[in-house]
Structure 1
Amino acid sequence: MATGRSTVFENRSHAGSALGMKLSTLLPAGEYTVLGLLRGGVPIAHEVAKALGATLGAVAVRKLGVPRNPELAFGAIARYGISSARHINEAIYRRALQYFGKDELESLERGTGADLRALASTFKDYCPDLAERDLLLCDDGMATGATMKAALDLIQELDPASITLAVPVASPGTAAELAPRVNGICQLLTPENFTAVGAFYEDFGQVGQDQVLEMLRSAR
C-alpha cells in the first residue's frame, strides 16, 4: 500500500477490509472476538470480523479533551457492560490544571462521563463475554492513543486469553508504547510523517449511531 502521500484509505470500510485481509494471513486459525471502539472503530472491526468469521462487539470510549482545545486529550474514559476505566496523561493533565483549574476539568469529566454512560447504554447488547477469549481491539487509527489506552485498561480486567490491537494507521511512538502491554499489534501503516489519523482517509466523516447499530446487528 503506497505511503508517499497522506491519503491512503477511501474510507473506514476500505481500511477495515485491508486490515482484515492482513490479519487473516497472520493470525492462527481459531475463534476470535473483535471489538470496535465506538463509534469510528466499529466499521474497522466489522470488516475485520467478517474476514475472520469472528464475533463482533463494541466498547464505549470518550476522549477527555483539554478545554478550548478538545483534540488535545488529557485522558479518556471507557465503559463495557457495567465495567469502566479512566486513563489520564499526567503530563498534559498537569498543564491543563495550571491553565483551567481543577473545577473546570472535573466539570468537563462529569459531562463526558454522562455522555459515555448514555453511549454504553445504547450499545449494551453488544458486549460479548471476553473471559478466555482471543480478542482483537480495533480503532480507525491511533494518534496519542488516549482512547485505546482507556479501552485497554478496561479490557485487561475482563480476563481475555489474549489481546491484539488492530488499526489501519498508528503513530510509531504510540505503537511502540503500547506493544509491551498486549500480545500483538497489527497496523498497515506507521508513517514517520504521522500528523493525524484523518489525514490518511479520503472520507473521515463522523460515523452515525444508526450506522453502527446496523453493523452490529448484521454481524449476529
Structure 2
Amino acid sequence: MATGRSTVFEDRSHAGAALGMKLSTLLPAGEYTVLGLLRGGVPIAHEVAKTLGATLGAVAVRKLGVPSNPELAFGAIAQYGPDSARHINEAIYRRALQYFGKDELESLERGTGADLLALADTFKAYCPELAGRDLLLCDDGMATGATMKAALDLVQGLAPASIRLAVPVASPETAAGLAPQVNGICQLLTPDNFTAVGAFYEDFGQVGQDQVLEMLRATQ
C-alpha cells in the first residue's frame, strides 16, 4: 500500500493493532514468536502478539549514527542474550571515514556498544528460544533499515524455522532490499515520498523503559 499522506497512525499502539489485524489474515496458521526491536518496536510487537496469541520478546539494537548527523546510520549493532551482530552500510561508512577518521568512528562504536550491553542486560529475561520457531521481527518503521538489518543478521544465526518482518511503514527501497533475505515482509504503508518514520505518527515520542517492561511482563 503506497500513500503520499503523513500522520496516518495515532501512536505505536494504534499502528501495532492495525498491523496485527493484517497479519492475522495473511499468516499461515501456527505458533509464532514476536520480537520487538528495543525500544520503539516493542509497542508494535506487543499489539501483534496480542492479536496472534504469540510469544513476545525483545531484541536490543542501537544505531551507529554519523557524528554530524546521528539519524544517518553507517550501521547498527544488536544483542540477544549472549549473541550479538554488527551490520555496516559500507557506502555511508566510507564517506563518514573520510570526514571523521577511523579513531572517532571506533570510539563512537565502543560507546554505543556499552549502551547496547546495558540495554540488553535490562531485558535479558525476555529472550525466548528461537530455534525451530516461526519468528516475526517488528519495529515501528524502516527508513534505511540499519537496526532491522542488524537484528536480522543476529536472529538468522539462531536457527529459527522462518523469519518474517512486520512494520507499519517502510521505505520502498529498504523493503525491496530486505525481501530476498526473509520469508516475507508485512508493511501497511510503503510511501513513494518516504521521508521519516515519525512523519506517519501523530505521537512518536520516546518509549520509556518502564513502559516496555510492563508490556513484556504482561505476556509472560
Length-normalised TM-score, structure 2: 0.99
Shift of 1:4: 4.5
The equivalent of 1:145 in structure 2 is 145
Quick one: distance in 2 between partners of 1:72 and 1:95? Answer: 12
1:192 alignment counterpart? 192
* 1:164 is aligned to 2:161: no
Q: Secondary structure at the match of 2:8?
A: coil
Partner of 2:110 in structure 1? 110
Task: Decide whether the 8 Å contact of 1:75 with 1:146 is kept in 2.
Answer: yes
- Residue of structure 1 in register with 2:71 after alignment: 71
Say whether the 8 Å CA contact 2:3–2:190 is kept in structure 1: no
Residues 8-27 of structure 1: pairs in structure 2 closer than 5 A? 8-27=8-27
SS class of match (1:158): coil
Show CA shifts across 1:4-32 (max 9, x none): 52110000000000000000011121100
How many Å apart are 1:141 and its aligned residue? Answer: 0.1
Q: What are structure 2's unaligned runs of at least 5 residues?
A: none
Say whether the 8 Å CA contact 2:16–2:45 is kept in structure 1.
yes
Distance 1:131 1:3 in 2: 37
**How far is the alpha carbon of 1:3 from its aligned partner?**
3.4
Question: Aligned partners of 2:4, 2:148: CA distance in 1, in Å?
Answer: 27
C-alpha contact (below 8 Å) 2:40/2:139 kept by paired residues: yes
1:59 maps to 59
Give SS of 1:194's match.
coil
Maintained 8 Å contact 1:74/1:92? yes
> Could you say what secondary structure the match of 1:30 adopts?
coil
Q: Give the TM-score normalised by the residue count of structure 1.
A: 0.99
RMSD: 1.0
Percent of pairs identical after alignment? Answer: 90
Letter of the aligned partner of 1:122 in structure 2?
A: T
User: What code does the residue aligned with 1:146 have?
Assistant: A
Aligned pair in 2 of structure 1 residues 2, 176: CA closer, same or farther (>3 Å)?
closer
After the TM superposition, which residues 119-130 of structure 1 pair with which residues of structure 2 at under 5 Å, given as runs? Answer: 119-130=119-130
The CA distance in 2 between the partners of 1:219 and 1:43, in whole Å, is: 12
Q: CA deviation at 1:158?
A: 0.2
Partner of 1:203: 203
CA distance in 2, matches of 1:165, 1:38: 15
Cα deviation for residue 68 of structure 1 reads: 2.0
Aligned length: 220
Alignment partners' CA distance in 1, 2:3 and 2:143:
17
Contact 1:2–1:8 (CA<8 Å) still a contact in 2? no
Where structure 1 has 5 or more consecutive residues not aligned to the other structure, the ranges are none
Residue identity in the other structure for 1:135: L
Counterpart residue identity of residue 104, structure 1: E
Classify the secondary structure of the residue corresponding to 2:34: strand
Which stretches of structure 1, 4 residues or more, deviate above 6 A after TM superposition?
none
Cα distance between partner residues in 2 of 1:5 and 1:163: 30
Shift of residue 2 of structure 1?
9.1
